[in-house]
Structure 1
Amino acid sequence: MPYPTRAILTGHTRGLGAAIAAQLLAQDIEVLGLSRTANAGLAARYPGALSQVELDLADLSALTGWLAGDTLIRFMDGAQQVLLVNNAGVLAPVGGLADQSPAQVARAVSVNVAAPMMLAAAVAECAARSGGQSPDTRIVHVSSGAARNAYPGWSIYCATKAALDQHARAVALDGSPLLRISSVAPGVVDTDMQAEIRGTGLDRFPLRERFDALKRDGQLATPEDSACKLVQHLLSDTFGSHPTADIRDLP
Protein backbone atom coordinates (compact mmCIF):
# COMPACT_ATOMS: atom_id res chain seq x y z
CA MET A 1 0.00 0.00 0.00
CA PRO A 2 1.49 3.43 -0.87
CA TYR A 3 2.29 5.87 1.90
CA PRO A 4 0.72 9.26 1.07
CA THR A 5 2.91 10.87 3.76
CA ARG A 6 6.60 10.13 4.13
CA ALA A 7 9.06 11.53 6.65
CA ILE A 8 12.81 12.00 6.72
CA LEU A 9 14.08 12.08 10.30
CA THR A 10 17.59 12.57 11.66
CA GLY A 11 18.78 11.13 14.97
CA HIS A 12 16.02 8.53 15.12
CA THR A 13 17.77 5.95 17.29
CA ARG A 14 17.32 7.32 20.81
CA GLY A 15 15.66 9.94 22.97
CA LEU A 16 13.33 12.41 21.34
CA GLY A 17 14.24 11.21 17.83
CA ALA A 18 13.26 7.61 18.59
CA ALA A 19 9.99 8.82 20.11
CA ILE A 20 9.25 10.98 17.05
CA ALA A 21 9.94 8.02 14.77
CA ALA A 22 7.57 5.84 16.79
CA GLN A 23 4.84 8.49 16.63
CA LEU A 24 5.16 8.83 12.86
CA LEU A 25 5.25 5.09 12.22
CA ALA A 26 2.23 4.54 14.47
CA GLN A 27 0.31 6.90 12.17
CA ASP A 28 1.21 4.88 9.06
CA ILE A 29 3.84 7.39 7.94
CA GLU A 30 6.82 5.79 6.27
CA VAL A 31 10.11 6.99 7.79
CA LEU A 32 13.60 7.32 6.37
CA GLY A 33 15.91 7.56 9.38
CA LEU A 34 19.39 9.03 9.18
CA SER A 35 21.73 8.33 12.06
CA ARG A 36 25.15 6.89 12.88
CA THR A 37 23.51 3.63 13.98
CA ALA A 38 20.32 1.75 13.20
CA ASN A 39 17.23 1.42 15.39
CA ALA A 40 16.73 -2.33 15.45
CA GLY A 41 13.74 -2.19 17.79
CA LEU A 42 11.67 0.09 15.59
CA ALA A 43 12.69 -1.81 12.46
CA ALA A 44 11.35 -5.01 14.01
CA ARG A 45 8.09 -3.33 15.08
CA TYR A 46 7.47 -1.68 11.71
CA PRO A 47 8.94 -3.91 9.01
CA GLY A 48 8.81 -2.26 5.61
CA ALA A 49 7.82 1.13 7.00
CA LEU A 50 11.20 2.19 8.39
CA SER A 51 14.16 2.65 6.07
CA GLN A 52 17.51 3.49 7.66
CA VAL A 53 20.76 5.04 6.49
CA GLU A 54 23.78 4.83 8.78
CA LEU A 55 25.41 8.21 8.29
CA ASP A 56 27.42 10.51 10.55
CA LEU A 57 25.97 13.96 9.97
CA ALA A 58 29.22 15.51 11.17
CA ASP A 59 30.86 14.10 8.04
CA LEU A 60 29.66 16.67 5.54
CA SER A 61 31.54 15.01 2.67
CA ALA A 62 29.67 11.78 3.33
CA LEU A 63 26.36 13.64 3.58
CA THR A 64 27.09 15.50 0.34
CA GLY A 65 27.86 12.22 -1.38
CA TRP A 66 24.67 10.61 -0.09
CA LEU A 67 22.56 13.55 -1.21
CA ALA A 68 24.13 13.31 -4.67
CA GLY A 69 22.63 9.83 -4.99
CA ASP A 70 18.99 8.96 -5.68
CA THR A 71 17.89 7.49 -2.33
CA LEU A 72 16.15 10.66 -1.18
CA ILE A 73 14.24 11.37 -4.38
CA ARG A 74 13.21 7.73 -4.70
CA PHE A 75 11.92 7.78 -1.13
CA MET A 76 9.90 10.92 -1.80
CA ASP A 77 8.58 9.78 -5.17
CA GLY A 78 4.79 9.52 -5.23
CA ALA A 79 4.25 11.00 -1.76
CA GLN A 80 1.44 13.52 -1.35
CA GLN A 81 3.11 14.98 1.72
CA VAL A 82 6.78 15.02 2.72
CA LEU A 83 8.03 15.82 6.20
CA LEU A 84 11.62 16.61 7.16
CA VAL A 85 12.38 16.50 10.88
CA ASN A 86 15.85 17.84 11.63
CA ASN A 87 16.19 16.39 15.12
CA ALA A 88 19.84 15.36 15.44
CA GLY A 89 21.97 17.69 17.53
CA VAL A 90 24.97 17.82 19.84
CA LEU A 91 25.62 19.88 22.96
CA ALA A 92 29.42 19.84 23.11
CA PRO A 93 31.61 21.80 23.44
CA VAL A 94 30.51 23.19 26.78
CA GLY A 95 32.61 25.80 28.56
CA GLY A 96 34.20 29.15 28.03
CA LEU A 97 35.70 30.07 24.71
CA ALA A 98 39.23 29.12 25.73
CA ASP A 99 38.01 25.66 26.75
CA GLN A 100 36.40 24.86 23.40
CA SER A 101 38.14 22.40 21.10
CA PRO A 102 38.09 23.68 17.50
CA ALA A 103 37.34 20.13 16.37
CA GLN A 104 34.29 19.98 18.66
CA VAL A 105 33.16 23.38 17.39
CA ALA A 106 33.39 22.12 13.81
CA ARG A 107 31.43 18.97 14.69
CA ALA A 108 28.68 20.96 16.43
CA VAL A 109 28.29 23.37 13.53
CA SER A 110 28.21 20.45 11.08
CA VAL A 111 25.57 18.45 12.96
CA ASN A 112 23.48 21.34 14.31
CA VAL A 113 23.58 23.74 11.36
CA ALA A 114 25.11 22.54 8.11
CA ALA A 115 23.41 19.13 7.97
CA PRO A 116 19.87 20.43 8.67
CA MET A 117 20.24 23.20 6.11
CA MET A 118 21.68 20.81 3.51
CA LEU A 119 18.83 18.36 4.05
CA ALA A 120 16.23 21.13 3.90
CA ALA A 121 17.61 22.35 0.57
CA ALA A 122 17.79 18.81 -0.81
CA VAL A 123 14.21 17.96 0.22
CA ALA A 124 12.91 21.20 -1.28
CA GLU A 125 14.79 20.52 -4.52
CA CYS A 126 13.49 16.95 -4.75
CA ALA A 127 9.94 18.18 -4.13
CA ALA A 128 10.30 20.74 -6.92
CA ARG A 129 11.61 18.06 -9.29
CA SER A 130 8.85 15.55 -8.57
CA GLY A 131 6.61 14.69 -11.45
CA GLY A 132 3.05 15.96 -11.43
CA GLN A 133 1.78 17.82 -8.38
CA SER A 134 4.56 18.79 -5.97
CA PRO A 135 3.97 17.35 -2.49
CA ASP A 136 2.98 19.36 0.54
CA THR A 137 6.45 19.77 2.06
CA ARG A 138 6.93 20.53 5.73
CA ILE A 139 10.28 21.11 7.45
CA VAL A 140 10.71 21.26 11.21
CA HIS A 141 13.99 22.11 12.89
CA VAL A 142 14.12 20.83 16.46
CA SER A 143 15.33 23.98 18.17
CA SER A 144 15.83 24.86 21.83
CA GLY A 145 15.13 27.55 24.35
CA ALA A 146 18.89 28.11 24.11
CA ALA A 147 18.28 29.57 20.64
CA ARG A 148 16.38 32.43 22.23
CA ASN A 149 18.20 32.82 25.57
CA ALA A 150 21.96 32.89 26.06
CA TYR A 151 23.51 30.59 28.69
CA PRO A 152 27.07 30.71 30.02
CA GLY A 153 29.13 27.81 28.71
CA TRP A 154 26.73 27.12 25.86
CA SER A 155 27.90 29.66 23.29
CA ILE A 156 28.16 27.08 20.50
CA TYR A 157 24.88 25.32 21.29
CA CYS A 158 23.03 28.65 21.63
CA ALA A 159 24.51 29.99 18.41
CA THR A 160 23.81 26.87 16.34
CA LYS A 161 20.22 26.58 17.51
CA ALA A 162 19.69 30.30 16.89
CA ALA A 163 20.96 29.72 13.35
CA LEU A 164 18.13 27.21 12.78
CA ASP A 165 15.58 29.73 14.06
CA GLN A 166 16.88 32.40 11.70
CA HIS A 167 17.01 29.92 8.80
CA ALA A 168 13.32 29.12 9.32
CA ARG A 169 12.40 32.80 9.49
CA ALA A 170 14.21 33.59 6.24
CA VAL A 171 12.90 30.54 4.36
CA ALA A 172 9.36 31.43 5.44
CA LEU A 173 9.85 34.85 3.86
CA ASP A 174 10.57 33.17 0.51
CA GLY A 175 6.84 32.50 0.36
CA SER A 176 6.88 29.10 -1.33
CA PRO A 177 3.20 28.04 -1.54
CA LEU A 178 3.90 24.31 -1.10
CA LEU A 179 6.57 24.52 1.60
CA ARG A 180 6.04 25.22 5.29
CA ILE A 181 8.85 25.53 7.82
CA SER A 182 9.15 26.12 11.54
CA SER A 183 11.92 25.88 14.12
CA VAL A 184 10.27 24.36 17.19
CA ALA A 185 11.65 24.18 20.73
CA PRO A 186 10.47 20.91 22.33
CA GLY A 187 10.77 22.02 25.96
CA VAL A 188 13.12 20.43 28.50
CA VAL A 189 13.02 16.72 27.70
CA ASP A 190 14.44 13.86 29.74
CA THR A 191 17.04 12.59 27.25
CA ASP A 192 20.71 11.63 27.16
CA MET A 193 21.51 15.29 26.50
CA GLN A 194 19.99 16.20 29.86
CA ALA A 195 22.17 13.55 31.51
CA GLU A 196 25.15 15.08 29.73
CA ILE A 197 24.21 18.50 31.11
CA ARG A 198 23.95 17.16 34.66
CA GLY A 199 27.35 15.52 34.26
CA THR A 200 29.03 18.82 33.32
CA GLY A 201 31.18 20.56 35.91
CA LEU A 202 29.96 23.83 37.35
CA ASP A 203 33.16 25.46 36.14
CA ARG A 204 32.03 24.81 32.56
CA PHE A 205 28.27 25.28 33.02
CA PRO A 206 27.43 27.50 36.03
CA LEU A 207 23.66 26.98 35.59
CA ARG A 208 23.84 23.20 35.94
CA GLU A 209 22.06 23.20 39.30
CA ARG A 210 18.94 24.54 37.59
CA PHE A 211 18.85 21.39 35.43
CA ASP A 212 19.67 19.17 38.42
CA ALA A 213 16.56 20.59 40.09
CA LEU A 214 14.37 19.95 37.05
CA LYS A 215 15.32 16.27 37.13
CA ARG A 216 15.05 16.00 40.91
CA ASP A 217 11.63 17.67 40.99
CA GLY A 218 10.18 15.67 38.10
CA GLN A 219 9.87 18.71 35.83
CA LEU A 220 11.36 17.13 32.70
CA ALA A 221 8.98 16.15 29.90
CA THR A 222 9.16 12.59 28.62
CA PRO A 223 10.39 12.05 25.06
CA GLU A 224 7.06 10.41 24.25
CA ASP A 225 4.96 13.38 25.39
CA SER A 226 7.15 15.90 23.59
CA ALA A 227 7.20 13.78 20.43
CA CYS A 228 3.42 13.47 20.45
CA LYS A 229 2.99 17.25 20.67
CA LEU A 230 5.65 17.90 18.03
CA VAL A 231 4.17 15.46 15.51
CA GLN A 232 0.64 16.67 16.19
CA HIS A 233 1.78 20.22 15.46
CA LEU A 234 3.75 19.17 12.38
CA LEU A 235 0.66 17.53 10.87
CA SER A 236 -1.76 20.29 11.84
CA ASP A 237 -3.21 22.94 9.56
CA THR A 238 -1.50 25.64 11.63
CA PHE A 239 2.03 24.32 11.13
CA GLY A 240 4.26 26.98 9.58
CA SER A 241 2.04 29.89 10.55
CA HIS A 242 4.89 30.95 12.84
CA PRO A 243 8.49 30.28 11.75
CA THR A 244 9.53 29.73 15.37
CA ALA A 245 7.49 28.07 18.09
CA ASP A 246 7.68 26.35 21.47
CA ILE A 247 5.54 23.27 21.96
CA ARG A 248 4.85 24.34 25.54
CA ASP A 249 2.92 27.31 24.12
CA LEU A 250 0.90 25.31 21.61
CA PRO A 251 -2.77 24.50 22.31
Structure 2
Amino acid sequence: MGQRYFIITGTSKGIGKQIAELLLEKGDHVYGIARGTSELEETYMRYQHIQFDLADIHSIADLVSSILKKIPLQEAEFIGLINNAAMLEPLKPIDHCNAEEIRLHLNISLAAPMIMTSSFIQLTNHLSTRRKIVNVSSGSGSYPAPSMASYCTSKAGMNMFTQCVAMEQSGQSNPVEVIAFDPGMVDTELQAVARGKSAEEFALSEVFGQVYEAGQLRSPEDVAKQLIERLEEISDPSKVLHAMEG
Protein backbone atom coordinates (compact mmCIF):
# COMPACT_ATOMS: atom_id res chain seq x y z
CA MET A 1 0.00 0.00 0.00
CA GLY A 2 1.40 3.36 -1.02
CA GLN A 3 1.96 6.40 1.12
CA ARG A 4 -0.20 9.53 1.25
CA TYR A 5 1.33 12.99 0.89
CA PHE A 6 -0.27 16.34 1.67
CA ILE A 7 0.66 19.95 1.03
CA ILE A 8 -1.13 22.24 3.50
CA THR A 9 -0.98 26.03 3.77
CA GLY A 10 -1.27 27.81 7.10
CA THR A 11 0.04 25.03 9.34
CA SER A 12 1.60 27.17 12.07
CA LYS A 13 -1.70 27.48 14.00
CA GLY A 14 -5.46 26.97 13.97
CA ILE A 15 -7.24 24.59 11.63
CA GLY A 16 -4.19 24.08 9.41
CA LYS A 17 -2.07 22.89 12.32
CA GLN A 18 -4.81 20.53 13.51
CA ILE A 19 -5.30 19.03 10.04
CA ALA A 20 -1.55 18.44 9.76
CA GLU A 21 -1.38 16.79 13.20
CA LEU A 22 -4.30 14.45 12.53
CA LEU A 23 -2.88 13.36 9.18
CA LEU A 24 0.57 12.83 10.71
CA GLU A 25 -1.01 10.70 13.45
CA LYS A 26 -2.50 8.55 10.68
CA GLY A 27 0.99 8.00 9.28
CA ASP A 28 0.72 10.40 6.36
CA HIS A 29 3.44 12.76 5.13
CA VAL A 30 2.79 16.49 5.39
CA TYR A 31 4.53 19.48 3.83
CA GLY A 32 3.36 22.53 5.73
CA ILE A 33 3.59 26.10 4.45
CA ALA A 34 3.35 29.15 6.72
CA ARG A 35 4.96 32.53 7.26
CA GLY A 36 5.91 31.52 10.79
CA THR A 37 7.77 28.52 12.17
CA SER A 38 6.17 25.26 13.24
CA GLU A 39 6.76 23.02 16.24
CA LEU A 40 5.36 20.05 14.29
CA GLU A 41 8.78 19.47 12.73
CA GLU A 42 10.22 18.69 16.16
CA THR A 43 7.47 16.16 16.92
CA TYR A 44 6.90 14.33 13.65
CA MET A 45 9.51 12.80 11.35
CA ARG A 46 7.07 12.88 8.42
CA TYR A 47 6.48 16.64 8.66
CA GLN A 48 8.50 19.15 6.66
CA HIS A 49 7.96 22.85 7.21
CA ILE A 50 8.45 25.50 4.54
CA GLN A 51 8.54 29.11 5.72
CA PHE A 52 6.99 31.11 2.93
CA ASP A 53 4.85 34.22 2.57
CA LEU A 54 1.95 33.45 0.24
CA ALA A 55 1.67 37.16 -0.57
CA ASP A 56 4.68 36.51 -2.85
CA ILE A 57 2.44 35.04 -5.55
CA HIS A 58 5.12 35.10 -8.27
CA SER A 59 7.19 32.50 -6.38
CA ILE A 60 4.36 30.04 -5.67
CA ALA A 61 4.83 27.92 -8.80
CA ASP A 62 8.49 27.36 -7.87
CA LEU A 63 7.44 26.56 -4.30
CA VAL A 64 4.99 23.86 -5.41
CA SER A 65 7.53 22.43 -7.84
CA SER A 66 10.21 22.20 -5.14
CA ILE A 67 7.83 20.38 -2.75
CA LEU A 68 6.65 17.90 -5.38
CA LYS A 69 10.28 17.09 -6.21
CA LYS A 70 10.68 15.84 -2.61
CA ILE A 71 7.75 13.43 -2.96
CA PRO A 72 8.31 9.99 -4.53
CA LEU A 73 5.34 10.62 -6.83
CA GLN A 74 5.30 7.22 -8.52
CA GLU A 75 5.02 5.47 -5.15
CA ALA A 76 2.32 7.75 -3.75
CA GLU A 77 -1.18 6.36 -3.30
CA PHE A 78 -2.77 9.78 -2.70
CA ILE A 79 -1.51 13.34 -3.09
CA GLY A 80 -3.53 16.15 -1.55
CA LEU A 81 -3.43 19.94 -1.49
CA ILE A 82 -5.29 21.79 1.27
CA ASN A 83 -5.56 25.54 0.66
CA ASN A 84 -6.26 26.62 4.21
CA ALA A 85 -4.29 29.86 4.70
CA ALA A 86 -6.26 33.10 4.58
CA MET A 87 -6.28 36.50 6.23
CA LEU A 88 -9.23 38.32 7.80
CA GLU A 89 -8.02 41.92 7.66
CA PRO A 90 -8.94 44.54 6.58
CA LEU A 91 -12.03 44.57 8.83
CA LYS A 92 -13.45 48.01 8.09
CA PRO A 93 -15.68 49.71 5.53
CA ILE A 94 -14.25 49.55 2.02
CA ASP A 95 -13.83 53.32 1.79
CA HIS A 96 -11.45 53.07 4.76
CA CYS A 97 -9.32 50.40 3.05
CA ASN A 98 -6.28 51.37 1.01
CA ALA A 99 -4.98 49.68 -2.13
CA GLU A 100 -2.16 47.86 -0.34
CA GLU A 101 -4.50 46.30 2.26
CA ILE A 102 -6.85 45.07 -0.45
CA ARG A 103 -4.00 43.75 -2.62
CA LEU A 104 -2.40 41.88 0.27
CA HIS A 105 -5.69 40.30 1.31
CA LEU A 106 -6.64 39.12 -2.17
CA ASN A 107 -3.13 37.82 -2.90
CA ILE A 108 -3.06 35.63 0.22
CA SER A 109 -6.72 34.59 0.40
CA LEU A 110 -7.60 34.13 -3.28
CA ALA A 111 -4.72 34.50 -5.77
CA ALA A 112 -2.36 32.23 -3.79
CA PRO A 113 -4.77 29.24 -3.60
CA MET A 114 -5.60 29.70 -7.29
CA ILE A 115 -1.91 29.57 -8.24
CA MET A 116 -1.25 26.68 -5.81
CA THR A 117 -4.07 24.77 -7.50
CA SER A 118 -2.85 25.58 -11.02
CA SER A 119 0.71 24.48 -10.26
CA PHE A 120 -0.38 21.36 -8.36
CA ILE A 121 -2.59 20.12 -11.20
CA GLN A 122 -0.07 20.95 -13.92
CA LEU A 123 2.83 19.24 -12.17
CA THR A 124 0.92 16.06 -11.24
CA ASN A 125 -1.09 15.55 -14.45
CA HIS A 126 1.26 12.81 -15.64
CA LEU A 127 0.37 10.63 -12.65
CA SER A 128 -2.32 7.96 -12.32
CA THR A 129 -2.38 8.61 -8.56
CA ARG A 130 -5.52 9.82 -6.78
CA ARG A 131 -5.26 13.60 -6.29
CA LYS A 132 -7.54 15.87 -4.29
CA ILE A 133 -7.69 19.59 -3.51
CA VAL A 134 -9.63 21.02 -0.57
CA ASN A 135 -10.21 24.77 -0.55
CA VAL A 136 -11.17 26.00 2.90
CA SER A 137 -14.09 28.35 2.46
CA SER A 138 -16.45 30.18 4.84
CA GLY A 139 -20.11 31.04 5.27
CA SER A 140 -18.90 34.57 4.54
CA GLY A 141 -18.59 33.49 0.91
CA SER A 142 -22.39 33.30 0.73
CA TYR A 143 -23.51 35.93 3.23
CA PRO A 144 -22.46 39.58 2.83
CA ALA A 145 -21.43 41.53 5.92
CA PRO A 146 -20.43 45.15 6.58
CA SER A 147 -16.71 45.82 7.06
CA MET A 148 -15.92 42.38 5.65
CA ALA A 149 -15.95 43.16 1.91
CA SER A 150 -12.46 41.76 1.24
CA TYR A 151 -12.99 38.57 3.26
CA CYS A 152 -16.49 37.84 1.91
CA THR A 153 -15.33 38.53 -1.64
CA SER A 154 -12.26 36.28 -1.43
CA LYS A 155 -14.31 33.41 0.04
CA ALA A 156 -17.06 33.83 -2.58
CA GLY A 157 -14.28 33.76 -5.17
CA MET A 158 -12.88 30.59 -3.62
CA ASN A 159 -16.27 28.89 -3.92
CA MET A 160 -16.71 29.86 -7.57
CA PHE A 161 -13.10 28.98 -8.38
CA THR A 162 -13.58 25.51 -6.90
CA GLN A 163 -16.66 24.84 -9.00
CA CYS A 164 -14.94 26.06 -12.18
CA VAL A 165 -11.93 23.79 -11.62
CA ALA A 166 -14.22 20.84 -10.82
CA MET A 167 -15.96 21.37 -14.18
CA GLU A 168 -12.60 21.55 -15.97
CA GLN A 169 -11.46 18.33 -14.35
CA SER A 170 -14.66 16.38 -15.00
CA GLY A 171 -13.59 15.56 -18.55
CA GLN A 172 -10.05 14.45 -17.71
CA SER A 173 -8.84 10.84 -17.78
CA ASN A 174 -7.60 11.08 -14.18
CA PRO A 175 -9.47 14.08 -12.81
CA VAL A 176 -8.30 15.93 -9.72
CA GLU A 177 -11.06 15.93 -7.12
CA VAL A 178 -11.63 19.46 -5.87
CA ILE A 179 -14.01 20.63 -3.15
CA ALA A 180 -14.71 23.73 -1.07
CA PHE A 181 -15.17 23.13 2.66
CA ASP A 182 -16.86 25.60 5.02
CA PRO A 183 -15.68 24.93 8.61
CA GLY A 184 -18.31 27.17 10.22
CA MET A 185 -17.38 29.49 13.10
CA VAL A 186 -14.20 28.11 14.67
CA ASP A 187 -12.27 29.19 17.76
CA THR A 188 -9.17 30.48 15.98
CA GLU A 189 -6.97 33.56 15.99
CA LEU A 190 -9.10 35.05 13.18
CA GLN A 191 -12.10 35.02 15.52
CA ALA A 192 -10.07 36.65 18.29
CA VAL A 193 -9.03 39.43 15.91
CA ALA A 194 -12.67 40.06 14.96
CA ARG A 195 -13.76 40.18 18.61
CA GLY A 196 -10.96 42.58 19.50
CA LYS A 197 -12.06 45.32 17.12
CA SER A 198 -14.02 48.34 18.33
CA ALA A 199 -17.66 48.60 17.26
CA GLU A 200 -16.80 51.82 15.40
CA GLU A 201 -14.15 50.06 13.35
CA PHE A 202 -15.92 46.71 12.85
CA ALA A 203 -19.70 46.73 13.23
CA LEU A 204 -19.96 42.98 13.87
CA SER A 205 -17.35 42.77 16.63
CA GLU A 206 -20.09 42.50 19.27
CA VAL A 207 -21.78 39.65 17.38
CA PHE A 208 -18.49 37.74 17.20
CA GLY A 209 -18.04 38.35 20.94
CA GLN A 210 -21.52 37.03 21.73
CA VAL A 211 -20.95 33.84 19.75
CA TYR A 212 -17.70 33.29 21.64
CA GLU A 213 -19.26 33.98 25.06
CA ALA A 214 -22.15 31.62 24.29
CA GLY A 215 -19.67 28.81 23.58
CA GLN A 216 -20.90 28.42 20.01
CA LEU A 217 -17.48 28.33 18.35
CA ARG A 218 -16.32 24.93 17.14
CA SER A 219 -12.88 23.63 18.07
CA PRO A 220 -10.18 23.47 15.36
CA GLU A 221 -9.73 19.77 16.12
CA ASP A 222 -13.41 18.91 15.47
CA VAL A 223 -13.37 20.83 12.22
CA ALA A 224 -10.09 19.22 11.14
CA LYS A 225 -11.56 15.74 11.74
CA GLN A 226 -14.54 16.54 9.53
CA LEU A 227 -12.36 18.03 6.81
CA ILE A 228 -10.28 14.84 6.73
CA GLU A 229 -13.48 12.77 6.41
CA ARG A 230 -14.43 14.89 3.41
CA LEU A 231 -10.91 14.53 2.09
CA GLU A 232 -11.10 10.75 2.08
CA GLU A 233 -14.59 10.33 0.61
CA ILE A 234 -15.65 10.97 -2.97
CA SER A 235 -17.41 14.34 -2.67
CA ASP A 236 -19.81 16.33 -4.80
CA PRO A 237 -17.73 19.23 -6.20
CA SER A 238 -20.76 21.28 -7.28
CA LYS A 239 -21.59 22.53 -3.78
CA VAL A 240 -19.71 23.85 -0.77
CA LEU A 241 -19.44 21.18 1.91
CA HIS A 242 -20.25 22.36 5.42
CA ALA A 243 -18.64 21.00 8.58
CA MET A 244 -22.00 21.20 10.35
CA GLU A 245 -23.40 18.56 7.97
CA GLY A 246 -20.90 15.99 9.17
TM range (shorter): over 0.9
1:246 aligns with 2:245: no
Question: CA–CA distance in 1 between the matches of 2:157 and 2:203?
Answer: 24
Structure 1-normalised TM-score?
0.91
Q: Which runs of 5+ in 1 are unaligned?
A: none
Partner of 1:46: 44
Question: CA–CA distance in 1 between the matches of 2:112 and 2:72?
Answer: 19
**What does residue range 1-251 of structure 1 map to in structure 2 within 5 Å?**
4-40=3-39, 42-47=40-45, 49-67=46-64, 69-75=65-71, 77-78=73-74, 79-130=76-127, 134-174=128-168, 175=170, 176=172, 177-237=174-234, 239-250=235-246
Name segments (4+ residues, structure 1) moved above 6 Å.
Answer: none
Structure 2-normalised TM-score?
0.93
Identity %: 27
Question: CA–CA distance in 2 between the matches of 1:65 and 1:157?
Answer: 27
Q: Is the Cα–Cα contact under 8 Å of residues 31 and 67 in structure 2 kept in the other structure? A: no
The one-letter code of the counterpart of 2:67 is: T
Q: How many residues align?
A: 242
Q: Deviations over 1:219-238 (max 9, x none)?
A: 1101111111111111123x
| Alpha-carbon distance change, 20 to 214 in structure 1, aligned in 2, over 3 angstroms | same
Question: CA–CA distance in 2 between the matches of 1:208 and 1:11?
Answer: 24
Q: Is the Cα–Cα contact under 8 Å of residues 5 and 28 in structure 2 kept in the other structure? A: yes
Q: Which runs of 5+ in 2 are unaligned?
A: none
Question: CA–CA distance in 2 between the matches of 1:95 and 1:60?
Answer: 25
Task: Classify the secondary structure of the residue corresponding to 1:8.
Answer: strand
Question: CA–CA distance in 1 between the matches of 2:236 and 2:2?
Answer: 23
1:71 Cα deviation (Å)? 2.9
Q: Is the Cα–Cα contact under 8 Å of residues 73 and 126 in structure 1 kept in the other structure? A: no
1:199 Cα deviation (Å)? 0.9
The one-letter code of the counterpart of 2:233 is: S
| Alpha-carbon distance change, 17 to 70 in structure 1, aligned in 2, over 3 angstroms | closer
Question: CA–CA distance in 2 between the matches of 1:76 and 1:226?
Answer: 29
C-alpha RMSD of the superposition: 1.6
Question: CA–CA distance in 2 between the matches of 1:77 and 1:126?
Answer: 10
